[in-house]
Structure 1
């Protein structure tokens, strides 16, 4: 079915539903590789502004991908985790366009509603600015 799937997560309920769908799709194929992608907004991160230690920041980031990892593990899917820094929309699009994926799976709405109002949704940006198939999960 698919050889490589990118799963973009932010810790929201929508990204958890996207993770379950990516796990289901990957499990249907043989040896599908899933890349879990999480983008940290360092300039607006609450933990960074609060002066949290590096260990606390790493733990907070890990929590954003943990549910997705568990969904993939439950389906015995091969995966790796990639963490990027910057604005989620542009960072995800750049990563997708710089790599080869058969499918991108992303939630319909993430945690940062202010960015959606100011710049448009991340899922819409991914859909409109990448060349591969995109599945937006509600």
Structure 2
């Protein structure tokens, strides 16, 4: 069984990785951990100064793609270290694009048997604005998805 785990550094995504490691260990399967960088999100903040509280509230967190890539690599490194602590190795992938499309597209193109994802990611505010990644993955792919709390 080959499993893809979508992570973002949240406790829930760490729980998803731990669950996937346990399941695949019992089945002699492999785990790949993926983090998606979405460059389009960073354009939503704009470069103009914030004009007031209502303007600030409409903007998402704005950071450079390079900072997000670096954070993604740190999250992937942490995931690989967690797996190593449990005597396992994992493959890691830094993906680009909308997380739902990037994760499902990668999972389907690589032939994964299942996807594990945390119930809620790092930012509830972002989730309210752009939707739940876990829900989007479940709705978008024919692959079995396990949502972990």
* Same structural fold, with TM-score higher than 0.5 when normalized by the shorter chain: yes
Question: What's 2:104 paired with?
Answer: 93
Structure 1 residue ranges (4+ consecutive) displaced by more than 3 angstroms after TM superposition: 56-59
Report the 3-state secondary structure (helix = DSSP H, G, I; strand = E; otherwise coil) of the residue aligned with 1:134.
Answer: strand
TM superposition score normalised by structure 2? 0.75
- Please report how far the alpha carbon of residue 119 of structure 1 lies from its aligned counterpart in structure 2 after TM superposition: 3.4
- Please report how far the alpha carbon of residue 95 of structure 1 lies from its aligned counterpart in structure 2 after TM superposition: 1.6
**Residues 107 and 123, structure 1, Cα contact 8 Å, conserved in 2:** yes
Q: 2:84 aligns with which of 52, 73, 80?
A: 73
Aligned counterparts of 1:65 and 1:102: Cα–Cα separation in 2 = 21
1:40 aligns to 2:37 (yes or no): yes
- Please report how far the alpha carbon of residue 82 of structure 1 lies from its aligned counterpart in structure 2 after TM superposition: 0.7
- Please report how far the alpha carbon of residue 97 of structure 1 lies from its aligned counterpart in structure 2 after TM superposition: 2.4
Gaps (5+ residues) in structure 1? Answer: none
Structure 1 segment 48-63 matched on structure 2, within 5 A: 48=64, 58-63=69-74
Question: What's 2:45 paired with?
Answer: none
- Please report how far the alpha carbon of residue 64 of structure 1 lies from its aligned counterpart in structure 2 after TM superposition: 1.4
Aligned counterparts of 1:103 and 1:84: Cα–Cα separation in 2 = 17
Aligned counterparts of 2:14 and 2:132: Cα–Cα separation in 1 = 17
Give CA deviations for 1:73-128 in whole Å, capped at 9, x if unaligned. 12333421111112212211222222211111100011233442233211011111
Aligned counterparts of 2:139 and 2:70: Cα–Cα separation in 1 = 32
TM superposition score normalised by structure 1? 0.81
Report the 3-state secondary structure (helix = DSSP H, G, I; strand = E; otherwise coil) of the residue aligned with 2:25.
Answer: helix
Q: How many residues of Structure 1 are paired with residues of Structure 2 in the alignment?
A: 130
Cα 1:112–1:94 shift into 2, 3 Å = farther
Question: What's 1:23 paired with?
Answer: 21
Root-mean-square deviation (CA, aligned residues, Å) is: 2.1
- Please report how far the alpha carbon of residue 57 of structure 1 lies from its aligned counterpart in structure 2 after TM superposition: 5.6
